[in-house]
Structure 1
Amino acid sequence: MGTAASPAFDTEALRRGTEEMDAATLLSLYADDAEMRVVDRNTQPSHPKVMHGRSEIASMLEDVFSRDMTHKVEQCVVQGDQVAFTESCEYPDGVRVLASSMISLRDGKIVDQTMVQAWDE
């Protein structure tokens, strides 16, 4: 008797959704009960910004993608139910942002994501 394989994480949808600034495509990668934590200059590790569920994550994605900037997935590694990726962004004035995320999956969907991001200053 074989073992059932977990559904694969769609790295192409991650790349396409990020680089084409398509919030709906990215949101399709999240479980309904997903949680995302963001750590940066304004939301430091002791008090990260925490979004619960797809609707709060959707609001954040729509806000980010409403900005005039580019996004590129630089690296993405999937190992079992864990994903790590880096994303580089740039505003028209040359200000750059680098984000690194660690993700936990359940049935191929994101259930937990921690993103650490830094801006040019």
Structure 2
Amino acid sequence: MGTAAGPAFDTEALRRGIEGHSAADLLSLYADDAELRVVDHNTQPSHPMVKHGRDEIAGMLNDVYSRDMTHKLERCVVQGDQVAFTESCQYPDGVKVLASSMVSLRDGKIVEHTLLQAWDE
């Protein structure tokens, strides 16, 4: 007897969410109790920015998607309940951002997301 597979993660929905022009599509991929941890030049590993729950994550994503910039999903790998992806972004003045994410899923929704990002200075 086999085991029942949980809901599959929709990588095309991830692409649409990242490359879209609002945070709503991307936010729909997160579980209500999700946690997002961001590590970058300003929020280093010993003191990352941590957002708890969809409401806090929505605040951050709404800020990001209110900016005049492009986002592109570069690569995405799904293995079981783990997803890894890279995203490139660019502001109109040419400043680039590269982000790498590792995600844990529950029932096809993101429950833990660790984001490492770097940008041109």
Say yes or no: TM over 0.5: yes
| Equivalence for 1:10 | 10
Deviation at 1:21, TM superposition (A): 2.6
What is the DSSP-based 3-state SS (H/G/I as helix, E as strand, rest coil) of the residue aligned with 2:21? Answer: coil
What is the DSSP-based 3-state SS (H/G/I as helix, E as strand, rest coil) of the residue aligned with 1:15? Answer: helix
The answer on whether the counterparts of 2:82 and 2:102 sit within 8 Å (CA) in structure 1 is yes
Structure 1 ranges of 4+ moved more than 4 A = none
The alignment yields a C-alpha RMSD, in angstroms, of: 0.7
Please list every run of 5 or more consecutive structure 2 residues that lacks an aligned counterpart in the other structure.
none
* Percent identity of paired positions between Structure 1 and Structure 2: 81
**Count of aligned pairs:** 121
Instruction: Encode CA deviations 1:27-69: one digit per residue, 9 max, x unaligned.
Output: 1110010000000000000000000000000010100000000
| Equivalence for 1:31 | 31
TM-score computed with the length of structure 2 as normaliser:
0.98
Q: Could you tell me how far apart the structure 1 residues matched to 2:45 and 2:106 are?
A: 25
Matched, 1:62 2:62: yes
| Equivalence for 1:105 | 105
Q: Could you tell me how far apart the structure 1 residues matched to 2:21 and 2:102 are?
A: 20
Amino acid at match of 2:28: S
Amino acid at match of 1:63: D
Please list every run of 5 or more consecutive structure 1 residues that lacks an aligned counterpart in the other structure.
none
What is the DSSP-based 3-state SS (H/G/I as helix, E as strand, rest coil) of the residue aligned with 2:8? Answer: coil
Amino acid at match of 1:11: T
TM-score computed with the length of structure 1 as normaliser:
0.98
The answer on whether the counterparts of 2:22 and 2:66 sit within 8 Å (CA) in structure 1 is no
Report 1:88-103 matches (<5 A).
Answer: 88-103=88-103
